[in-house]
Amino acid sequence: MYRNLAKSDDDAAEFGPSYELLAVVTSTVRVRELLGSGDYGNHFVAFTDGSCAPHSATSADGPGGWGTIIFGARGERWELRGSIDHTTSNRAEVCGMLAALACVPEEAHLGVQSDSRYLVDHVRAGCRANDNDDLWREVRELLVAKGVRVSASWVPGHNGHRHNERVDALASAGLRRVAPRFALAGQR
């Protein structure tokens, strides 16, 4: 399961589903805690994306990144991104969804929007796959443990969709391991 491995309350928290993945959340501090503490309703939408270099769905030769934007029922928005070593594009896609699942509260409904047919098809098939079974097992365990219902819809990639373009940029930043930038209230 996703476990919080953060060493401090800094502006980034490390967490991962298993020993080979440590992702750095580079946006909202303690996103899961913040989501759990507010009255956001039970419906969330997450745009997710994954990226790797060189781009490959099957060969884990290089680094990868994932991005997630979570929208709450009342218009709240949280952005997350992370980095992964030695991954495939498909694994990076699943990691983006895992991050969203880890953040939403128990008993929530999560509607995942992705340009990855791999991700959407496997969510629609009950989150089962012959490949990347370790990550899909994490997804299934998290769904059961939290009582989260998930659905998935495909959106065309690189087609000007505002949220999909933004989540693509987050995944690319995760891939490049871009340092997080934070703006404090009242500062530019």
Q: Domains of the chain: which residue ranges? A: 3-176
Judged against a pLDDT cut of 90, whether residue 14 lies above it is answered with no
Provide the 8-state DSSP code for 107: T
> Which 3 state secondary structure label does DSSP give 32?
helix
Judged against a pLDDT cut of 90, whether residue 185 lies above it is answered with no
Distance CA(164)–CA(168), nearest Å, equals 6
pLDDT per residue as tens digits for the range 125-154: 998 878 899 999 999 999 999 999 999 999
Distance CA(26)–CA(179), nearest Å, equals 8
Question: In terms of Cα–Cα distance, which of 180, 171, 97, 79 is closest to 140?
Answer: 97
CB atoms within 10 A of CB 106: 10
**pLDDT, position 180:** 57
Judged against a pLDDT cut of 90, whether residue 178 lies above it is answered with no
Do residues 153 and 54 lie in contact, with contact meaning Cβ atoms separated by under 8 Å?
no
Distance CA(153)–CA(184), nearest Å, equals 34
Judged against a pLDDT cut of 80, whether residue 29 lies above it is answered with no
Q: What phi, psi does 89 have (nearest 5°)? A: -65, -40
* Overall average pLDDT of the 39-65 stretch: 81
And the tokens for 10? Answer: 């800094």
76 burial level (CB within 10 Å; 0-12, 13-18, 19+): middle
Question: In terms of Cα–Cα distance, which of 27, 51, 22 is closest to 171?
Answer: 51
Give the predicted TM-score (pTM) of the model: 0.74
Question: In terms of Cα–Cα distance, which of 86, 112, 92 is closest to 164?
Answer: 112
And the tokens for 104? Answer: 């939403």
Distance CA(69)–CA(79), nearest Å, equals 4
Q: Is the dihedral of CA 38, 148, 75, 8 positive or negative?
A: positive
pLDDT per residue as tens digits for the range 86-116: 889 999 999 999 999 999 999 999 999 999 9
CB atoms within 10 A of CB 107: 10
Task: Considering the domain delimited by 3-176, tell me its CATH architecture.
Answer: 2-Layer Sandwich (3.30)
